[in-house]
Structure 1
């Protein structure tokens, strides 16, 4: 798939404010600072589409971007150690929960994890929660350029091992780098297979 058009549509603080559900949606979520906004921009061929920040927790709303006039890319707030109040974190949690469970045109949730880290409990719990609720998902390993191919393969193998204790069939796993564009075609092909 070639992305020829990408535009910001709106930011929403709750599911009721989201755009009309007339296009398939693909949501991106991960822990704070996992490289989500950079990945969104890389996929869309638009460095300025999602706001990139060195500070964790920059994305605080549900952000809809219309791609090629036929599907929505949705940038969700990160979870984890963003410097925010407990009240704000609870609000984000509720907003993310309501969106993921209630959005009828949500086709897939991409869970981003840092390829350099061992499986983190917060990520594993979130992936399991999606599975328990029957939400289609794929895991995207980010920052592949930061380490060797062997270390990347080892990171994926560790996740497989951890998830095998709860999953009969493991979710798809993709390896990416916003810096080197690795995995871009894989992610776009994955989305294309849904919207054909």
Structure 2
């Protein structure tokens, strides 16, 4: 999709605040600082529309980005960030679970993992959780420009061993080089047909 119009419509914490337009939604989940904002910016052809931060735990709401008056990207708070209180993590967890299990407009989840490292326990739990609730998901390994191209297959193999994902649902991605952008868009377009 060639994106010209984007609007951060609302930052929501409860279903009463979700958009009422009925557009299909694609959620982006992953650890804090895994690259959700960077992926969003690449997909919408913007430099800094979705704010990136060096400080983990900045996203604390469900941020609905309206794309081309036909679709929402929903940036979900990052998981696995230790400096947030247990009560705050539980509140986020409930907000995220409510959205991911009860939103009929949700057509799929892009689960981002750091392609440079082994999956964390939180990554594995999220993958299992999405599988349990039968939520369509695309796994996107980020920051792949930091790994030599000859080692990408090794990283992909490591991901396959850690979680159950087929080749069509795994994309090696770099915000810097834009590698994987077209594959991610192809998956999104298939989900929202």
Same fold (TM over 0.5): yes
- Structure 2: runs of 5 or more not aligned: none
User: Which segments of structure 1 move beyond 4 Å, counting only runs of 4 or more?
Assistant: none
Cα deviation, 1:9-61, whole Å, max 9, x if unaligned, reads 00001222111151000000100110111111111112232111000111110
RMSD, aligned CA: 1.6
Cα deviation, 1:75-130, whole Å, max 9, x if unaligned, reads 10000025211111111111000000011010000110000011222101110111
Which residue pairs with 1:52 in the alignment?
52
Relative to the length of structure 2, the TM-score reads: 0.94
Moved more, 149-158 or 55-64: 149-158
Please tell me whether the aligned partners of residues 138 and 187 of structure 2 are also in contact (alpha carbons under 8 angstroms): no
Deviation of 1:170 after TM superposition, in Å, equals 7.3
Which residue pairs with 1:135 in the alignment?
135
CA distance in 2, matches of 1:185, 1:135: 22
CA distance in 2, matches of 1:93, 1:155: 29
1:77-92 to structure 2, matched below 5 A, reads: 77-92=77-92
1:35-184 to structure 2, matched below 5 A, reads: 35-164=35-164, 172-184=169-181
CA distance in 2, matches of 1:170, 1:181: 19
Relative to the length of structure 1, the TM-score reads: 0.93
CA distance in 1, matches of 2:118, 2:16: 37
Please tell me whether the aligned partners of residues 24 and 105 of structure 1 are also in contact (alpha carbons under 8 angstroms): yes
CA distance in 2, matches of 1:128, 1:35: 21
Please tell me whether the aligned partners of residues 25 and 73 of structure 2 are also in contact (alpha carbons under 8 angstroms): yes
